[in-house]
Amino acid sequence: MGVLAVLFATVISCTCGPRYATRAEKLMAEMNNPESDYVLVACHRGDWRNYPENSIPAIESVIAMGADIVELDVKMTKDSAIVLSHDHNVRRCTNWKGEHGSGVDKLTLAEIKALKLKRAHGVTTDSLRMPTLEEAFLVCKDRILINIDQGFQYYDLIMPIAEKVGITKQLLIKGSDAVDFVNAKMNQYSEKMMYMPIVRPKKDSCRALKSFIAAGEANPADKPIAYELCYGSNCTPADYQEAVDLVRAAGSRAWINTLWSSLCGRGYDDDAAFEAWKETGSPEPVYGAILKTGVSMIQTDRPEMLLNYLRSIGRHD
């Protein structure tokens, strides 16, 4: 290679930044860099406004938007298959017609696959079915990170599926269990998912948060990648800021839910952001205030609006 070619290659390498084999690899690097200005956007049950929640099209849609994380809920069928469902029964999200026995755990996978999914306003689709977790993993592999909700109790069932697909490192699982229980379970595996404790700062005076931080300091392998901080009605701005500051000082990311006001301090939810956007042309009064706290992961029900805002201020690609 000539001198000019070498110099050109060097310039390209320097200006383009790190090269990643897949988008998921880039997102994992961002997750592991809490000092980055990049804000990770998590989509609640996928794009449920346009497709059935927790469905394959809902996942594909948020991937196409350029979202970073899709939040998925899991349940176990009667024959021990892991499927995507927020509810413990299939009444709300499918065309179930029976009166009794609608629990996910009361139905076999074949029985669940016979049901048609509903999208918003209770409209039954023609052909969409409740996906298995493996089907969702295959769609998400190398493309987007996954936040598994309501799933820590199924950790031992999820891990073989994740290992089979080769997606373990893309998984962020969360829960409210005590630190010793969580770490004992996860450390049974040589390669484990990322973990995010759910913390309610005012309710427990940050005791749960501090116990996970202490465990991470004692053994860096046990340090949570992030903390979901629930900004409840009994939590003051000072309480919440203290929790965010503790998380950031521990070298982890802070996650907030803007899904509805009771989760984010009243007035900092997606609906408030939408109203701000209608009045001023920008959701800055809401999302900007959240970012000032140091939060760098936001779970939203309005991913397009949030992504557009973050891109406009240079905090998302």
Percent of the chain at pLDDT exceeding 70 = 94
Rounded (10°) angle between helices 179-186 and 155-165: 40
Question: For 144-151, what is the mean pLDDT?
Answer: 96
Buried b (16+ CB within 10 A) or exposed e, 293-307: bebbbbbbbbbbbbb
Residue 2 lies in a domain: no
Looking at residue 12, what is its pLDDT?
37
Residue 7 lies in a domain: no
Residue 142 lies in a domain: yes
Looking at residue 18, what is its pLDDT?
81
- Quote the CA–CA distance of 93 and 115 in Å, as a whole number: 10
Q: What is the pLDDT of residues 220-260, one digit of tens each?
A: 999 999 999 999 888 999 999 999 999 999 999 999 999 99
Residue 171 lies in a domain: yes
* DSSP string for 206-233: THHHHHHHHHHHH-GGG--SEEEE-B-T
Residue 152 lies in a domain: yes
Rounded (10°) angle between helices 303-312 and 284-292: 70
More confident residue, 18 or 45: 45
Residue 11 has pLDDT above 90, yes or no: no
What's the one-letter identity of residue 280?
T
Residue 84 lies in a domain: no
Tell me which residue range forms the domain holding 267: 22-74+133-312
State the CATH number of the domain containing residue 70: 3.20.20.190
Residue 15 lies in a domain: no
Residue 130 has pLDDT above 70, yes or no: yes
Domains in the chain: how many in total?
1
- pLDDT band at residue 16 using 50, 70 and 90 as cut-offs: low
